[in-house]
Amino acid sequence: MSETSLKGRLGALALVAPLVLFLAIFFAWPLVSMLKESVSDPVGSHAFPLTAAVAGDWDRQSEPPEALKQAFVDDLRAIDDQQLLGDAVRRLNSAQNGFRTLMSRTIRAVEEQPEGPLDLVAVDRRWADVRFWRAVADSTNPYTDRYLLAALDYERDASGRISALPAETSANTAILLRTLGIGAVVTLACALIGLPYAMLVASVDGWKRQVLLGAVLLPLWTSLLVRTAAWFILLQEQGLINDTLMSLGLIGSPLPLIFNRLGVVIAMTHVLLPFMVLPIYSVLLSIPRNLMPAAASLGAPPWRAFLRVLLPLSLRGVVSGSLLVFMTAIGYYITPALIGGAQDQMISSVIAFYAIGSANWGMAGALGAILLVATLALYTVYGRLSADRAGGR
Amino acid sequence: MPLSQSNIRFEKVSKAYGTLRVVDDLDLTIDEGEFLSLLGPSGSGKTTILMMLAGFEAPSGGTISVGSQRIDPLPPHRRNMGVVFQNYALFPHMSVAANVAFPLEMRGTPRLEIDSKVARALDMVQLGAMKDRRPAQLSGGQQQRVALARALVFEPSVVLMDEPLGALDKQLREQMQLDIRALHKRLGLTIVFVTHDQSEALTMSDRIAVFNRGKIEQIGTPREIYDQPRSRFVAQFIGETNLVEGTLAEAGDAGATVKLEGGGTIRVQPSDLRPEAGRILVSVRPERIRLGPDAASENAYPATVTDAVYHGDHLRIQLDNGAFGFVAKADRKTAEFNPGDRVMVSFAPSDCWMLPA
Amino acid sequence: MRAATLFKLLFGVLAVVFLIAPLVAILPLAFTSSVFLTYPIPGYSMRWFNELANANVWRMSIINSLIIGTGTTLLAGTLGTLAALGLRNAGLVLPGLFRTVFLLPMVVPAVVLGVGMQVFFVHLGLANSYAGVIAAHSVVAVPFVVVSVTASLAGIDRRVERAAASLGASPFTVFRRVTLPLALPGILSGAVFAFATSLDEVVLTLFVAGPNQRTLARQMFSSIRENISPAIAAAAFLFIVGTLLIAAIAVLVRRRTEKMKQPAEA
Ligand SMILES: Nc1ncnc2c1ncn2[C@@H]1O[C@H](COP(=O)(O)OP(=O)(O)O)[C@@H](O)[C@H]1O
Ligand SMILES: [Mg+2]
């Protein structure tokens, strides 16, 4: 039967379906959950459902309506999940200082009078302040852009306008810039070593080519941890590099190579170099071998033939390789975590800190969303480039 | 031609990929025991027709039957036709013997019988000594013969071959042409043979179907196809020919007269062709053209040699008579020709064939 | 010209040293008798291999890595092979889209995926379980299987399968007798890649595994971070020797299959 018949179509779908399903559950869904964490703020709406229902009727500027106040009191009377209440108080306090004491006083008052209307201003004068009510009403919105803004060092002020965080608390932009910076330096280093290396590989053959290719492939096949551990051993204070330099008398005391930027860049360049060499090499292989002799026969001296023929042709490989290296570099975690110091941590480390260290899913998700978008954008460009190359021939 | 019990019939068969009609309304009957070649340029739909017959492509319309049974709903493995693929399609992971044994295993043939049949099939193609080798360890010609043995070992009555000799060098190809032809005779096989090589089709076939863009341009014996092409396409695709344009001036039982564009006339053999506007093409094969100072014929023209190229067994001579150009093939023994020589060109009316313009 | 050659040679040697030296430098330290990971090595012993085999954390982590690696190989190997077969089928709609989606797990940064999995696995009840870790590892291993099997399937001439059908083999027999044996090298190398990926995976493990699923790589990570010892070098030694072995096998398999496929036409 023809392979494009209905049966064939169903058969093909049945074959890819298990993986599609698997990736939908274990790949797409986790990413979506992460993105959802970055914009979700469920505590207030869970803790104060009645308040949430009427919060929309209030314009946030005028005196809060009685219905809102009453709903809030009713919510406080109804709540029996102490953990949820604690979370809600913490959430409110982070939006408006003073809520911790205000709430404990209010909760006591609510417990003393379990029925009927309650004059909150009599309990605490702060309830006359509109800002506190605004915080309550805002907390019942299940979605927030707080984390995404904070990830870029912005916040909403009391009136809801977006403004930059004060310099001393704005660490994230610095880390984002550092991530891009380390990525750029590593990419540059890889290109500077990788391009001549790939040209060297392509220019020789026989065992020489095998050795040169093997030197690229062996690290690629070796565990990333092993390679990072190896650099740890080489770079440490009594490591092989410092030992050698000192015994040669080139330096008097050990150079600081580890737990700093230099070490991170060296180790990451080593780890990512194959991703630069291989794309360039594959482009070079596709260049007909007689192009350089042809240029020579047309009167070009070797260096001009190189500049006018080989270099432009290998440039697409450099671009592919650079995108690949940069894209991988900005997501790196293990190497900076083990070789770098506190000042060399990249965005992934910060994400891991929020997620594992402080269970702040919102921030982890928001920073993760930024990294994800950047990576996918780079990958799209990379995909376009390689598609062009495949189709343009 | 006698209609036999199990001839193969295509009726109104077409095949389209998207909007591209690759096979267009094909009607074709292949007799039992016939050697039919499908001849046509690359992309004319030959492989598609063969694959529909073998069951790998479903027709978009029409029916295919063998004898009284429709076979288009049958899957390939139930059609019982031997197929020799372009580039052979041997199983690279099996030995030669295992390749040939495969169809017998599929049919549940007992082991002992398989062994003897495989041995016989390999002997038939003179490859008995190679039975334990892998296909990659064989030469192209040897692989070709394994493919042939594999397609024949289960004694199918129909064998389909898709350019089976395309990858072989000239000498080997001619040897295999003879071998296949002999097998066809000896086993009484029906063979559908796809090729784009016109000389291969001419030497091997009982009949040739010439394809162009998914349609049969002409079907007939090699002699008919060569001597009596019915269209410009067939005349030019099969062999080389000179085509001269003119109008039909007079036609009778003894022959016809064609008035040429640039003046003069040609006498041609009788034909039923009666074109509407009288416009017509006359085809004259280069090897039928005689050259010489003394050429005497009803059709004789003075011409100038513009080029003469040595081809070993013959000379190819380019001629111009002012009104039209000719190519002629001349026996090396006749004479020497050099550019600039004036010669008489002549050809018998029986060597001139009319076709529609 | 001579200077250029000399320069090329120098550059080549330096680059190869940069690429290979770290891997070589770590190997002898696996046999040190000292507790420090430094040169010169005072004496040689097998104590750190003993440590790997006998110290509870290391032994458990090795066993966990084998369990999780095997699970990942089976899961990713099966899913990836099936998908690659589907991708090859001409009847598949939007093959480009499927291909892209199947490769995406290779692209998404591990930490991002890890955060998502940590959140999601808690909902699913898969947190701190072998099943969860195997699923997580399979997500990042499956692209390698798809790529490897797709490549080996692309090397199969479709006419060979058609030939089998024309000789009387049913679609399933064609698959079993022709497609599968010819794709086997690709499936095996995909499985090896999947195992290696799982063995080396740290980040996702950090996020989704509990203390009971601590793998060798995870153990190496924390031991480099917290109390580095030559046990790291011993583990690295095992990794590198394993890599070399696998590479050698891969080269042999490739040699054999290439010899098989190569047409001998003149
Ligand atoms: N699977 C397919 N999808 C689309 N077009 C096809 C397919 N197979 C063949 N074709 C087209 O059909 C035409 C005829 O092909 P084919 O039968 O192989 O020609 P031939 O064997 O005479 O060279 C060609 O133009 C080819 O491009
Ligand atoms: Mg064809």
**How far is residue A186's CA from residue C60's CA, in Å, rounded to a whole number?**
36
In a domain, C157, yes or no: yes
User: Ligand 1 test: best mutation among B23, B44, B48, most atoms within 8 Å of CB?
Assistant: B48
Q: What pLDDT is recorded for position A158?
A: 67
Would the pLDDT of C27 be above 60?
Answer: yes
- C265 CB within 8 Å of a chain B CB: yes
- C157 CB within 8 Å of a chain B CB: yes
User: Ligand 1 test: best mutation among B13, B22, B39, B216, most atoms within 8 Å of CB?
Assistant: B22
- H, E, C per residue of chain A: CCCCCHHHHHHHHHHHHHHHHHHHHHHHHHHHHHHHHHHECHHHHHHCHHHHHHHCCCCCCCCCCHHHHHHHHHHHHHCCCHHHHHHHHHHHHHHCCCHHHHHHHHHHHHHHCCCCCCCHHHHCHHHHCHHHHHHHHHHCCCECCHHHHHHCCEEECCCCCEEECCHHHCCHHHHHHHHHHHHHHHHHHHHHHHHHHHHHHHHCCCHHHHHHHHHHHHHHHCCHHHHHHHHHHHHCCCCHHHHHHHHCCCCCCCCCCCCCHHHHHHHHHHHHHHHHHHHHHHHHHHCCCCHHHHHHHCCCCHHHHHHHHHHHHHHHHHHHHHHHHHHHHHCCCHHHHHHCCHHHCCHHHHHHHHHHHCCCHHHHHHHHHHHHHHHHHHHHHHHHHHHHHHHCC
In a domain, A156, yes or no: no
Please state whether beta strands A154-156 and A162-164 pair in parallel, antiparallel, or not at all (unpaired). antiparallel
Q: What pLDDT is recorded for position B160?
A: 94
Cα of B107 from ligand 2 centre, angstroms? 29
- C59 CB within 8 Å of a chain B CB: no
**How far is residue A17's CA from residue C79's CA, in Å, rounded to a whole number?**
9
Closest residue on chain C to B56 (Cα): C162
| Other CB atoms within 10 Å distance of the CB of residue A359 | 9
Least-confidence region, from B168-172, C140-144, C168-172 = B168-172
Rounded to the nearest integer, the mean pLDDT of chain B is 88
Same domain, A109 and A195: no
Same domain, A103 and A240: no
Instruction: Give the ligand 1 atom nearest the CA of B48.
Output: 17
Rounded to a whole number, what is the distance in Å from the CA of A332 to chain C's nearest CA? 7
pLDDT band at A389 (very low <50, low <70, confident <90, very high): low
Which is more confident, B3 or C9?
A: C9
pTM: 0.82
Would the pLDDT of C183 be above 60?
Answer: yes
In a domain, A29, yes or no: no
In a domain, A10, yes or no: no
Would the pLDDT of B91 be above 50?
Answer: yes
In a domain, C146, yes or no: yes
Contact list in A for residue B56 (CB cut-off 8 A) is 2-3
Residues in chain C: 266
The total of structural domains in chain A comes to 2
Same domain, A341 and A237: yes
In a domain, C202, yes or no: yes
**Subunits touching B (CB < 8 Å, at least 3 pairs)?**
A, C
In a domain, A327, yes or no: yes
Cα of B195 from ligand 2 centre, angstroms? 8
- Give the mean model confidence (pLDDT) for residues C17-35: 90
**How far is residue B48's CA from residue A8's CA, in Å, rounded to a whole number?**
19
Rounded to the nearest integer, the mean pLDDT of chain C is 89
In a domain, C32, yes or no: no
Least-confidence region, from A161-165, A210-214, B37-41 = A161-165
User: Ligand 1 test: best mutation among B13, B14, B15, B17, most atoms within 8 Å of CB?
Assistant: B17
Q: Per mean pLDDT, which of A125-129, A380-384, C102-106 is the most reliable?
A: C102-106
**CATH code where residue C235 lies:** 1.10.3720.10
Angle at C111 (CA atoms; ends C99, A262), nearest 5 degrees:
110
Same domain, A67 and A197: no
ipTM of the complex: 0.91
What residue type is assigned to position A5 of the chain? Answer: S
- C27 CB within 8 Å of a chain A CB: no
Q: Which A residues 276-295 touch C at CB under 8 Å? A: none
Expressed as residue numbers, the domain containing C160 is 65-265
Contact list in A for residue C120 (CB cut-off 8 A) is 29-30, 33-34
Contact at CB, A2 and B75, closer than 8 angstroms: no
Would the pLDDT of A114 be above 90?
Answer: no
Q: Which residues pair with B29 in a beta bridge?
A: B9
* Ligand with the closest atom to the CA of B45: 1
Expressed as residue numbers, the domain containing A78 is 43-142
Rounded to a whole number, what is the distance in Å from the CA of A149 to chain C's nearest CA? 18
CA-nearest of C94, C63, C199, C205 to C144 is C199
Task: Report the residue of B47, B84, B106, B159 to disrupt the C interface, i.e. the one with the largest count of C CBs within 10 Å.
Answer: B106
Would the pLDDT of A89 be above 80?
Answer: yes
Token pair recorded at residue A173: 């932009």
pLDDT band at C259 (very low <50, low <70, confident <90, very high): low
The total of structural domains in chain C comes to 1
Contact at CB, B56 and A2, closer than 8 angstroms: yes
Would the pLDDT of B273 be above 80?
Answer: no
Token pair recorded at residue B61: 């319309």
Would the pLDDT of B335 be above 90?
Answer: no
Same domain, A257 and A360: yes
CB pairs under 8 A between A and C: 255
Would the pLDDT of A51 be above 50?
Answer: yes
Q: DSSP strand E in chain B: where? A: 8-17, 20-30, 35-39, 61-66, 69-70, 82-84, 158-162, 190-195, 207-212, 215-220, 242-251, 256-260, 265-268, 279-284, 290-292, 299-310, 314-320, 325-331, 342-347, 352-356
Closest residue on chain A to B59 (Cα): A2
- Give the mean model confidence (pLDDT) for residues A247-263: 87
Q: What pLDDT is recorded for position A2?
A: 44
Lining ligand 1 with CB less than 6 A are B 17, 20, 22, 40, 42-48
Which is more confident, A4 or B30?
A: B30
What residue type is assigned to position A383 of the chain? Answer: G
Least-confidence region, from A314-323, A328-337, B64-73, B306-315 = B306-315
**How far is residue C232's CA from residue B323's CA, in Å, rounded to a whole number?**
93
Cα of B45 from ligand 1 centre, angstroms? 6
Q: What pLDDT is recorded for position B2?
A: 43
Of C15, C200, C224, the CB nearest to A338: C224
Least-confidence region, from B124-138, B186-200, B244-258, C46-60 = B244-258
pLDDT of A31-44, one tens digit each? 999 999 899 888 88
Same domain, A381 and A245: yes
- Give the mean model confidence (pLDDT) for residues A229-246: 87
In a domain, A153, yes or no: no
- Give the mean model confidence (pLDDT) for residues C140-159: 93
Q: Give nearest CA residue, ligand 1 atom 4.
A: B17
Which whole-number Å values give the CA distances from B323 to B262, B279, B304, in the listed order? 5, 17, 12
* Ligand with the closest atom to the CA of B86: 2
- C183 CB within 8 Å of a chain B CB: no
**Subunits touching C (CB < 8 Å, at least 3 pairs)?**
A, B
CA-nearest of A212, A206, A272, A271 to C9 is A212
**How far is residue C206's CA from residue C111's CA, in Å, rounded to a whole number?**
9
Task: Report the residue of A2, A27, A227 to disrupt the C interface, i.e. the one with the largest count of C CBs within 10 Å.
Answer: A27
Instruction: Give the ligand 1 atom nearest the CA of B211.
Output: 22
Would the pLDDT of C1 be above 70?
Answer: no
Cα of A273 from ligand 1 centre, angstroms? 44
Least-confidence region, from A170-179, A285-294, B13-22 = A285-294
pLDDT of B23-77, one tens digit each? 999 999 999 999 999 999 999 999 999 999 999 899 999 999 998 899 988 888 8
The last residue of a domain, from among A120, A142, A164: A142
Cα of B216 from ligand 2 centre, angstroms? 16
Q: What pLDDT is recorded for position B1?
A: 40
Same domain, A225 and A371: yes
**How far is residue B147's CA from residue A34's CA, in Å, rounded to a whole number?**
58
In a domain, A185, yes or no: yes
- Give the mean model confidence (pLDDT) for residues B175-186: 90
Would the pLDDT of B224 be above 80?
Answer: yes
Q: What domains can you pick out in chain B, each with its CATH number? A: 8-232 (3.40.50.300), 241-356 (2.40.50.100)
Q: What pLDDT is recorded for position B249?
A: 83
Contact list in C for residue A8 (CB cut-off 8 A) is 89-91
**How far is residue C216's CA from residue C221's CA, in Å, rounded to a whole number?**
9
Q: Which C residues 110-139 touch A at CB under 8 Å? A: 110-121, 123, 135-136, 138-139
In a domain, A34, yes or no: no
- Give the mean model confidence (pLDDT) for residues A337-363: 90
Q: CB of C137 within 8 A of CB of A26?
A: no
Least-confidence region, from B269-278, C91-100, C191-200 = B269-278
Closest residue on chain B to A2 (Cα): B57
**CATH code where residue A198 lies:** 1.10.3720.10
Would the pLDDT of A8 be above 80?
Answer: no
Same domain, A104 and A253: no
